[in-house]
Amino acid sequence: MSTTYDLIVIGSGPGGYVAAIRAAQLGMKTACVESSATLGGTCLNVGCIPSKALLVSSEKFTDAQHGMATHGVKLDKISLDLAAMMGHKTKVVKDNTSGIEYLFRKNKIDWIKGKGRIVAAGQVDVGGTVYATKNILIATGSESSPLPGIEVDEKRIVSSTGALELTEVPKTMVVIGGGVIGLELGSVWQRLGAKVIVVEFLDRILPGMDGEISKTMQKILGKQGIEFRLSTKVTSAKSDGKNVAVTLEPAAGGNAEKLQADIVLLSIGRRPYTEGLGLDAAGVKLDERKRVVVDHRFETNVKGIFAIGDVIAGPMLAHKAEDEGTVCAEMMAGQSGHINYDAIPNVVYTWPEVASVGKSEEELEKAGVAYKVGKFPFSANGRARAMAETEGFVKILADAATDRVLGAHIVGADAGTLIAELALAIEFSASSEDIARTCHAHPTLNEAVKEAALAVDGRPIHI
C-alpha cells in the first residue's frame, strides 16, 4: 500500500471512466480498476456502441434494398458482406476503447488491471495487492438477466453479447423479451434477412414506455416483418448444436406451442453486477433487488464507499451513469451536485427511433395529475417529407394548470436527437409555450417539436 489514492473507481464503463476523468480534473489522484482487456465496460465493448454500429449498417443495407429508389437512386445486385459489416463494428469498438485509454493517460489516471475486491473502507484488493484510497466508487454496471431453465451458450442460445458476434444470418431468430435490447438486435438481424419472432410475457412491447408509443412501434415493426407473440412465456429452449427447440405457453397458462429456431436471443433485462466485490464483508447494504443502497451523495452506508450507474436504483442507461459519475466526483471534491431524474431521456435505436423523457400518460393518470396533450405527425413536416421519413409523431404532455412540460415522447426519424430539446425543457421547468415561442430552423425535423408544443394549446399551424 505504498500509493494512496484519493479515489479508486471499480469498473471502467461510462459511469466509471467519466467519474475517474472528472475526479482527475478536480485534482484527485485517481485510479480505475478494470479486469477486461479493454476499457469502456459493457457499453463500449459489447453493448451500446457495437449494437449501434450494426444498427446503422443494417439500416444502410435495408435502405439500399428498399429506400433509395424513392430518391431516384437505383441499385442492382445488392449483396451482404457480413464479415465487412462486423469488421466495421469491431473497428468502431476499438477506436472508442482506445480513446478511453488516451483520456486516462491525458488525465494521469492509473489503470489497475484485474478484478477489484473491497477489503474494507479505504482498501481495494486487486490480484493480491491491496491499494489504499480515501474513497471507493463502485461502478461495475450490470449483466444480462438469466431465465431459469434456459442455458446461454453464446452460440445458439445467446445474450446480447453473442448476438453481436454471429458469423451468419440466421433463418429464424426467437427473441425472448420485447424491451429495448431485444427490439434493437432483433431489428438488426431482421433487416439482414432473418425471420424474427419476439416473445414478450406482458401484453405490450417496450413495457416501460408510454402506451401509445408501444402500440405505434409494434405496428411499425410488424410492417417491417417482425412477428410478435405477446402475453406469452418461453418455458424451455433446448439446443442440439444446430437448432433450438423453443416451447411457448400463454402467460396466463394454457396449451404449449413448439417453435424451431436457428438462434434464440435471451434479452429479458439486466441485473446489477456485484459478484466478488466483497460487499458483504465490507458491510455495504443492498436492497431487495441486490442493488447497492446509496444516499443523495451516492454514498453507501459505509463511509467512503460510493456507487453509481446500473448497480444502484434507477434506469439502467449509460448517460444516467455518466451524469451520476460526474456529480459524485464533484461532491467528493466539496462541490454541490444535482441530477433531475425526470430529465433523463430514453432512446430505442430501431428505425424509426423511439425517444422519451419525463412522465408517460399512464404515470400522470396514476398520479392524478391533470395534463394536456399536444401531438404533431411527421407526415405534416416538410423535412420529413423530403427525407421520405414520415412515420411517427411528437407528443408533449404539459401540466393543465401551469403548462410546465411533464413528459415528451417521439416516434420518428432521429427521435434520439430531437428529444434533447425536450429534456432541456424539463430540466429548466419550461412550459410548452416556451418551446412554441422559440424559433426553430426551417425546414427541420425539430419543427415537429415546436408544432407539438403549439398543439398543447390547440393551435398548431401546419395541420
In the block, residue with C-alpha cell 454541490: 336
Peptide bond into 352 cis (omega under 30): yes
Separation CA 41–CA 312 (nearest Å): 16
Separation CA 363–CA 22 (nearest Å): 35
Find the DSSP H helices in 198-257.
Answer: 211-224
Separation CA 238–CA 152 (nearest Å): 10
Cell of 213: 408509443
Dmax (CA) for the chain in angstroms is 70
Half-sphere exposure of 387 (CA within 13 A, CB side): 17
Separation CA 238–CA 240 (nearest Å): 7
List strand residue ranges (DSSP E) for 129-269, in order.
129-138, 142-144, 157-158, 172-176, 195-199, 227-229, 232-239, 244-250, 257-261, 263-266
Other Cβ atoms within 10 Å of 48 Cβ, number: 21
Q: What angle do CA 72, 75, 77 make, to 5 degrees?
A: 165
Cell of 172: 429464424
Q: Which of 66, 71, 442, 462 is catalytic?
A: 442
Sort strands 257-261 and 405-412 into parallel, antiparallel or unpaired: unpaired
The answer to whether the CB of 324 falls within 8 A of the CB of 15 is yes
Sort strands 4-10 and 30-34 into parallel, antiparallel or unpaired: parallel
Return the closest-CA partner of residue 337 out of 348, 352, 326: 326
Cell of 94: 476499438
In the block, residue with C-alpha cell 410488424: 222
Bridge partner residues of 295 (DSSP): none
Active site residue 409: no
Q: Could you give the residue numbers annotated as active site?
A: 442
